[in-house]
């Protein structure tokens, strides 16, 4: 294997930091080896150590004309990112140390009408995707996929399915019928073709089960699960056809290539980071990612000329062949470098993971089902998804629909509690 990529002083130092953080947090935190810090470490190791080495074992074939001559600056970027995240974890260690499944004195109950209403929104969103020709739910072979621009708002219905399904699983104690329903949700995700939803949902389901059963996830289980997840992500990425499901006719071809050598575009994340870190940075994007993220919440028919993410063009700056429209992805490290330069890596990593731990703190105040579901989503969302997709506007919008429903199912209960506290106390209440 091509070990020269990682066999550098910077690569070794970064690897040591990752190992120490992983085993230290796996032993001390209640979620064990699938806690937020451990998930962040696993993702860093897989994407910036394992995938480059495995993918290049047969030789560096390049990625749109980009080649991996060195990875030392990329590993330095990862090291700065990890150190910033570590400081955030240490500052908020108390929050991470609270077990989400621990019983509360006064457990809050979800508002069932809101819960069912949110499922109605999900059903309407999926129905719209089917009727508009964006989802081949039946797997019909003669299906014609609509190539016109989709309404992005309706695709967020898929993200809402993750927290709502987890609540359903937890409320029903993972009974068989709820597992069957969860399997149907996975089938829908397979038809859509977005791997990250499947990975987040499956990881969160496992973590939810462990929390509900008071099982601490050991290192061996997490590493074994990472191997399975890597295999599934590679397989799905090679067979998927957006909105049309999996092309099973390609199974033999994928099997010949090998399950751990072709990563269906995920290798490009390493190439883009290596190129960006090794070359002079362009004019800094500064606050552009954040402004675009807020602007994208406004529908286009209201604000047709809203700003777009022009900094994304630099993701393919190292490409020697045409890469426009190829969906070249970059890690969050690249976006940070393009925003404020090298100094932003530890600072923004601290900032983003502080937001993640603050969200965990807010989730701890919810009822049991929403609390467990939310705390189970956080590691995969912030530790895996956020780190491997350098589009703040996408992470920001998706987070609203991954975590928003967990708070909405308590909205009427919260109001009634506020109303109760506003009225004068009765003599019986005063005596308590």
Cα distances from 425 to residues 10, 199, 420, in angstroms, run 64, 49, 9
Residues 6+ apart with CB under 8 A from 117: none
From CA 211, how far away is CA 283, in angstroms rounded? 46
Length of the chain measured in residues: 432
pLDDT computed for residue 262 by the predictor = 58
Q: Identify each DSSP E strand in 158-297 by its residue range.
A: 240-241, 245-246
From CA 300, how far away is CA 141, in angstroms rounded? 33
pLDDT computed for residue 308 by the predictor = 84
* Closest C-alpha to 390, from 353, 339, 341: 339
Give me the helix-helix angle, 344-363 and 368-378, nearest 10°.
160
From CA 214, how far away is CA 13, in angstroms rounded? 35
Burial of 135 (0-12, 13-18, 19+ CB in 10 A): buried
Tokens describing residue 81: 């990112």
Say if CB 412 and CB 369 are below 8 A apart. Answer: no
| CA distance from start to end of the chain | 70
- The structural domain count of the chain equals 1
From CA 381, how far away is CA 387, in angstroms rounded? 9
User: Please, how many CA atoms are within 13 Å of residue 389, restricted to the half-sphere of its CB?
Assistant: 20
* Closest C-alpha to 337, from 307, 317, 357: 317
Query: Could you tell me the pTM of the whole model?
Result: 0.89
From CA 204, how far away is CA 170, in angstroms rounded? 11
pLDDT computed for residue 252 by the predictor = 61
pLDDT computed for residue 144 by the predictor = 64
* Closest C-alpha to 44, from 4, 9, 92, 84: 84
pLDDT computed for residue 238 by the predictor = 62
In terms of residue numbers, what domain contains 409? 1-432
CA 389-311-199 angle, 5° bins:
10
* Other beta carbons less than 10 A from residue 171's beta carbon: 18
Cα distances from 72 to residues 7, 10, 197, 261, 282, in angstroms, run 9, 6, 31, 22, 20
181: left (phi over 0), alpha (psi -120 to 50) or beta: alpha
pLDDT computed for residue 432 by the predictor = 38
Q: Which residue has the tokens 């601490």?
A: 216
* Closest C-alpha to 195, from 237, 134, 137, 135: 237
φ/ψ of residue 63, rounded to 5: -140, 100
pLDDT computed for residue 256 by the predictor = 55
Chain centre to alpha carbon of residue 344: 21
Tokens describing residue 402: 């991954």
pLDDT (tens, 9 = 90+) of the chain, 432 residues, equals: 456 667 788 999 999 999 999 999 999 999 999 999 999 999 999 999 988 887 777 666 677 777 777 789 999 999 999 999 999 999 999 999 999 999 888 888 999 999 999 999 999 988 888 887 777 776 666 666 665 555 666 788 899 999 999 999 999 999 999 999 999 999 888 888 778 889 999 999 999 999 999 998 989 888 888 888 777 777 776 666 665 666 666 666 655 555 555 565 678 898 899 999 999 999 999 999 999 999 888 877 677 788 888 888 888 777 777 666 556 789 999 999 999 999 999 999 999 999 999 999 999 999 999 999 999 999 999 999 999 988 999 999 999 999 999 999 998 754 444 444 433 443 343 333
User: Please, how many CA atoms are within 13 Å of residue 421, restricted to the half-sphere of its CB?
Assistant: 5
From CA 204, how far away is CA 378, in angstroms rounded? 8
3-state helix, strand, coil in the chain (%, to 5): 65, 0, 30
């Amino acid at each position: 294997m091509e070990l020269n990529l990682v066999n550098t002083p910077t690569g070794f130092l970064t690897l040591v930091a990752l190992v120490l953080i992983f085993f230290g947090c796996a032993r001390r935190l209640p979620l064990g080896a699938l806690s937020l810090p451990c998930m962040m470490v696993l993702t860093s190791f897989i994407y910036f150590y394992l995938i480059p080495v495995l993918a290049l074992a047969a030789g560096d074939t390049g990625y749109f004309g980009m080649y991996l001559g060195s990875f030392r600056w990329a590993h330095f970027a990862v090291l700065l990112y990890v150190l910033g995240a570590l400081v955030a974890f240490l500052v908020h260690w108390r929050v991470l140390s609270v077990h989400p499944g621990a019983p509360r004195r006064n457990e809050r109950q979800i508002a069932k009408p809101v819960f069912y209403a949110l499922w109605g929104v999900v059903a309407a969103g999926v129905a719209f995707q089917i009727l508009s020709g964006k989802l081949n739910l039946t797997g019909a072979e003669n299906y014609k996929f609509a190539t016109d621009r989709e309404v992005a708002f309706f695709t967020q219905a898929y993200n809402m399915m993750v927290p709502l399904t987890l609540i359903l699983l937890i409320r029903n104690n993972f009974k068989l019928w709820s597992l069957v329903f969860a399997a149907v949700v996975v089938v829908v995700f397979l038809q859509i073709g977005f791997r990250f939803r499947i990975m987040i949902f499956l990881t969160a389901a496992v973590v939810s089960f462990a929390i509900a059963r008071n099982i601490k996830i050991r290192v061996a289980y997490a590493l074994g699960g990472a191997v399975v997840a890597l295999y599934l992500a590679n397989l799905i990425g090679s067979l998927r056809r957006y909105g049309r499901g999996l092309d099973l006719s390609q199974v033999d071809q994928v099997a010949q290539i090998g399950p751990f050598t072709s990563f269906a575009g995920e290798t490009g994340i390493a190439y883009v980071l290596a190129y960006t870190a090794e070359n002079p940075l362009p004019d800094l994007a500064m606050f552009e990612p954040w402004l675009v993220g807020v602007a994208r919440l406004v529908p286009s028919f209201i604000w047709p000329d809203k700003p777009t993410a022009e900094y994304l063009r630099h993701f393919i700056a190292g490409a020697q062949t045409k890469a426009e429209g190829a969906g070249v992805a970059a890690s969050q490290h690249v976006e940070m470098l393009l925003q404020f330069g090298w100094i932003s890596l530890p600072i923004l990593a601290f900032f983003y993971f502080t937001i993640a731990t603050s969200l965990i703190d807010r989730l701890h105040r919810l009822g049991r089902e929403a609390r467990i579901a939310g705390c189970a989503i956080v590691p995969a969302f912030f530790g895996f998804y956020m780190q491997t997709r350098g589009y703040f506007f996408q992470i920001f919008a998706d987070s609203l629909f991954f975590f928003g429903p967990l708070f909405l199912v308590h909205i009427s209960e919260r109001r009634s509690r506020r109303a109760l506290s506003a009225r004068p106390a009765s003599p019986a209440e005063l005596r308590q």
